[in-house]
């Protein structure tokens, strides 16, 4: 006689099957998601390839300055036979979209494909609701060359040199070049500039262009003369005798607190024969900056602007001594900005009506977990009102507040903690009708919440890297930011995910 399963045995089987399903479903979902993401990346590769072919074909018709951008729709790329239909891996429908091209050098462009598989009628930033986009792909940084007589015309002491030649060779920076030979038994030569005022306890970085025939040539610098306190020596740098101009960049130094030297001295060492033109050396374009790194040579002060890559308004004029550091460490494109948490920020005057839906999107790589740090803020100075995305300890927040005497402050927060020292894509969207805020991290929905205070004011200024114009020292960001976007509409889950995937390569 055959016996059936007992109730206990059947329950055990059901429980085991349930456990298997619980384990299998997330893994299957992850496999499906990974497959879709791979398909999105493949779409991006095809779009970028089509964009590059478009550039190669029509480059003679494109007349842009470095930092400027233009857009080409998928429809235009398709009509020019550069691109096939872009199919949505998630639903199988045909996607619309466009490519933002930014000129980053005389011959190179960065490209960002924007794909829309939800509305399917997006062919430009205007239609996509993108009102501001800083891709940070071109170098923009203010500085001042403290050396005022970079043409060697006054204030230079070079009486230890012989057979001096001015402008014998062209300097790559267009300034006067200064050539000399070794002139005596002493292998050490000096050139001193008096007009290089330095403040006590501040950080400086010196650079100098050098070209030599000398097979054993070294150069260093020092501040102050032997009768002055607080002399700083730079490391000795060898220069190859390949008859090419080399920019010598020394490590930055802190001028001693008791020193306010007005000079910088260059010390040259040569072991070549005396008065031998075959071992001649040339220098040009000396620079000393009150910065912790070297930037490209400038005569006097360089004023720079970060360009809004979707139109010609809302550009940001950078402020000397408050500009963050432009670096080539970026998640997307050619560069990003590093904010040191010490009064470095980007500001842009603008006019935005914040009475409707809003979306903020950007890449970030935070470094420290320390209270409130401003990331991207829309500000009205006359009303002392802010709406912005902040890093609060290890959470992303959307905050609205007043920075007047009341300092009223309301915010909503993400569920997940950010990962420090890693790039993450952040999308925060605000829906006016419900005051709902949605957070997306790396394309995945993280949290939704209701903002306690209604948002309804006109933004007069964009702040990047700080939360407020008041109490700045408390709310400065430390870390990297890249590809900052602001939209005048809200995003849903699929759109936020598409925006994240558009950045992947």
Shared domain for 230 and 360, answered yes or no, is no
239 is a domain residue: yes
Q: Mutual orientation of helices 493-502 and 7-58 as an angle, nearest 10°?
A: 50
State the alpha helices, DSSP H only, in 385-491: none
473 is a domain residue: yes
121 is a domain residue: no
Shared domain for 320 and 259, answered yes or no, is no
Shared domain for 319 and 461, answered yes or no, is yes
Tens digit of pLDDT at every position of the chain (505 positions): 556 667 777 777 788 887 777 776 656 555 555 666 777 888 888 999 999 999 999 988 888 888 889 999 999 999 999 999 998 887 778 999 999 999 888 888 989 999 988 887 899 999 999 999 999 998 889 999 998 888 887 666 665 565 678 889 999 999 999 888 766 555 667 777 777 788 888 899 999 999 998 888 899 998 876 556 678 899 999 999 999 999 999 999 998 877 767 788 888 887 766 666 677 889 999 999 998 889 999 999 988 888 888 877 788 888 887 889 999 888 888 899 999 998 889 988 887 777 789 999 999 999 999 888 999 998 887 766 788 899 999 999 988 876 544 455 677 889 999 999 999 999 999 998 898 999 999 999 999 998 877 777 788 889 999 987 765 556 899 999 999 999 999 999 989 988 998 877 6
Rounded to whole angstroms, how far apart are CA atoms 457 and 347? 18
Shared domain for 352 and 432, answered yes or no, is yes
Contact by Cβ (8 Å): 222, 265: yes
C-alpha count within 13 angstroms, C-beta hemisphere, residue 275: 4
CB atoms near residue 490 (< 10 Å): 20
Boundaries of domain holding 229: 143-289
Tell me how many domains the chain contains: 3
1 is a domain residue: no
Of the residues 230, 254, 289, the one at which a domain ends: 289
297 is a domain residue: no
C-alpha count within 13 angstroms, C-beta hemisphere, residue 159: 2
Shared domain for 235 and 187, answered yes or no, is yes
Rounded to whole angstroms, how far apart are CA atoms 325 and 364? 15
Which pTM value belongs to this model?
0.82
120 is a domain residue: no
Q: Which of 402, 408, 415 is nearest to 469 (CA)?
A: 402
Q: What residues pair up with 399 in beta bridges, in sequence order? A: 388, 411
Tell me which residue has tokens 């300092």: 407
């Amino acid at each position: 006689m055959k016996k059936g399963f007992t109730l206990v045995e059947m329950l055990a089987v059901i429980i085991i099957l349930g456990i298997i399903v619980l384990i299998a479903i997330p893994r299957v979902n992850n496999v499906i998601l990974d497959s879709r993401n791979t398909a999105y990346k493949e779409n991006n590769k095809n779009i970028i390839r089509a964009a590059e072919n478009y550039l190669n074909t029509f480059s003679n018709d494109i007349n842009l300055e470095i930092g400027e951008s233009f857009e080409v729709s998928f429809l235009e790329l398709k009509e020019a036979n550069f691109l096939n239909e872009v199919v949505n891996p998630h639903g199988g429908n045909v996607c619309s979209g466009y490519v933002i091209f930014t000129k980053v050098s005389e011959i190179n462009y960065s490209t960002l494909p924007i794909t829309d598989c939800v509305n399917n009628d997006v062919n430009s930033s205007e239609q996509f609701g993108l009102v501001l986009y800083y891709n940070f792909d071109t170098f923009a940084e203010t500085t001042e060359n403290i050396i005022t007589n970079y043409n060697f015309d006054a204030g230079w002491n070079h009486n230890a040199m012989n057979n001096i030649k001015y402008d014998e060779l062209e300097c790559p920076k267009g300034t006067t070049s200064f050539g000399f030979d070794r002139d005596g038994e002493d292998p050490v030569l000096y050139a001193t500039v008096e007009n290089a005022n330095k403040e006590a306890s501040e950080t400086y970085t010196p650079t100098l262009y050098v070209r030599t025939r000398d097979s054993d040539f070294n150069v260093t610098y020092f501040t102050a003369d032997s009768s002055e306190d607080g002399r700083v020596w730079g490391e000795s740098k060898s220069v190859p005798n390949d008859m090419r101009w080399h920019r010598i960049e020394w490590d930055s130094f802190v001028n001693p607190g008791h020193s306010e030297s007005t000079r910088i001295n260059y010390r040259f060492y040569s072991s070549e024969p005396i008065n031998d033109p075959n071992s001649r050396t040339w220098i040009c374009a000396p620079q000393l900056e009150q910065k912790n790194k070297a930037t490209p040579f400038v005569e006097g002060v360089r004023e720079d602007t970060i360009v809004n890559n979707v139109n010609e308004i809302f550009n940001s004029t950078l402020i000397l001594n408050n500009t963050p550091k432009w670096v080539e460490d970026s998640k997307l494109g050619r560069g990003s900005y590093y904010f040191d948490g010490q009064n470095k920020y980007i500001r842009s005057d603008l006019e935005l009506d914040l009475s409707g839906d809003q979306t903020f999107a950007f890449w970030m790589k935070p470094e420290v977990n320390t209270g409130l740090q401003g990331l991207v803020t829309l500000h009205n100075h006359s009303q002392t009102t802010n709406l912005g995305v902040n890093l609060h300890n290890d959470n992303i927040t959307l905050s609205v507040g007043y920075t007047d005497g009341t300092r009223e402050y309301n915010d909503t927060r993400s569920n997940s903690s950010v990962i420090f020292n890693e790039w993450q894509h952040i999308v925060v969207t605000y829906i006016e009708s419900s005051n709902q805020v949605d957070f997306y991290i790396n394309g995945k929905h993280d949290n939704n919440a209701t903002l306690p205070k209604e948002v309804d004011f006109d933004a007069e200024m964009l702040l990047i890297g700080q939360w407020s114009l008041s109490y700045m020292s408390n709310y400065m960001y430390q870390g990297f930011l890249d590809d900052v976007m602001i939209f005048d509409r809200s995003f849903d889950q699929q759109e936020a995910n598409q925006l994240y995937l558009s950045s992947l390569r």
